[in-house]
């Protein structure tokens, strides 16, 4: 580009470089850029639906991981939590290799500065469906006790597990089938979470923290009719919250 007006030069100053031939170059690497595809991902309803999909997958994975662990234990494959290293070996690894408790922890230099930057915290809460663990719910179901609404997904996954032929076997074949099922669910979960992150990115960066359904960030709640694993309809509310926060460097 050449022959730019003073107003344009003032506006684009931080990303504008003038070459020796008097032409200008725009350097866009220093600013965030969204493709048109992601700019359109600003629907709270669509985001909530994907959050619900994530919930369905996470609860199923929790259930199958529970049975995977039980199967491993029955096969004598229980993982050892305690280190078999001698105290002398452990001290050597910590001192010379920065390895402690199986993790690499190198020394970190602290920068004595007061620098900070502004960021946004994006949280989404599903009313009545907080995080659950499979273990206590399976115990309830084995004892034929009642479960709550927040436990319905694990309950349905439990029934599906016990009614599926490939999970009625034992030993190594069962372990193999469980690992394949967990891998399949994790693959789907990865795609769902990727969409969720891109959607949040588009809302915050591409749409100035606004979603299509709301005029402001003061009250962002959506009540939706969704479906469980067994296609049973549930009505729940999603509470969205986008807060500006300061991050210290």
3-class SS letters over 93-162:
HHHHHCEECCEECCCCCCCCCCCEEEEEEEEEEECCCCCCCHHHHHHHHHCCCCCCHHHHHHHHHHHHHH
Residue 88 has pLDDT above 50, yes or no: yes
Residue 99 has pLDDT above 50, yes or no: yes
- In this structure, the number of other CB atoms found within 10 A of the CB of residue 207 comes to 15
Residue 4 has pLDDT above 50, yes or no: yes
- 248 vs 214, residue with greater confidence: 214
Predicted TM-score of the model (pTM): 0.72
Q: Rounded to whole angstroms, how far apart are CA atoms 37 and 56?
A: 26
Residue 181 has pLDDT above 80, yes or no: yes
* Mean pLDDT in residue range 14-22: 73
Q: Rounded to whole angstroms, how far apart are CA atoms 47 and 238?
A: 10
Q: Rounded to whole angstroms, how far apart are CA atoms 70 and 169?
A: 13
Q: What percent of the chain has pLDDT over 90?
A: 52
- 188 vs 7, residue with greater confidence: 188
**pLDDT band with cut points at 50, 70 and 90 for residue 80:** very low
Closest CA to 55 of 183, 188, 202, 146: 188
**pLDDT band with cut points at 50, 70 and 90 for residue 162:** very high
- In this structure, the number of other CB atoms found within 10 A of the CB of residue 103 comes to 7
């Amino acid at each position: 580009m050449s022959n730019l007006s003073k107003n344009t030069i003032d506006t684009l100053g931080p990303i504008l470089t003038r070459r020796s031939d008097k032409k200008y170059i725009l350097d866009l690497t220093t600013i965030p850029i969204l493709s048109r595809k992601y700019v359109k991902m600003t629907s709270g309803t669509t985001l909530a639906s994907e959050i619900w999909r994530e919930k369905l997958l996470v609860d199923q994975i929790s259930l199958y991981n529970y049975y995977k662990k039980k199967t491993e234990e029955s096969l004598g494959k229980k993982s050892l939590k305690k280190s078999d290293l001698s105290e002398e070996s452990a001290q050597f690894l910590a001192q010379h290799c920065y390895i402690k408790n199986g993790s690499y922890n190198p020394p970190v230099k602290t920068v004595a500065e007061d620098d900070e930057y502004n960021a946004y915290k994006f949280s989404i809460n599903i009313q009545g469906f907080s995080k659950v663990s499979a273990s206590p719910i399976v115990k309830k179901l084995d004892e034929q006790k009642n479960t709550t609404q927040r436990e319905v997904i694990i309950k349905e996954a439990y029934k599906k597990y016990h009614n599926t032929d490939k999970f009625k076997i034992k030993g190594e074949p069962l372990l193999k089938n469980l690992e394949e099922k967990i891998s399949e669910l994790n693959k789907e979960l990865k795609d769902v979470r990727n969409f969720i992150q891109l959607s949040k990115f588009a809302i915050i960066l591409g749409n100035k923290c606004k979603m299509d359904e709301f005029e402001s960030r003061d009250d962002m709640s959506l009540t939706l009719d969704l479906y469980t694993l067994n296609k049973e309809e549930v009505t729940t509310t999603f509470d969205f919250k986008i807060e500006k926060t300061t991050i210290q460097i």
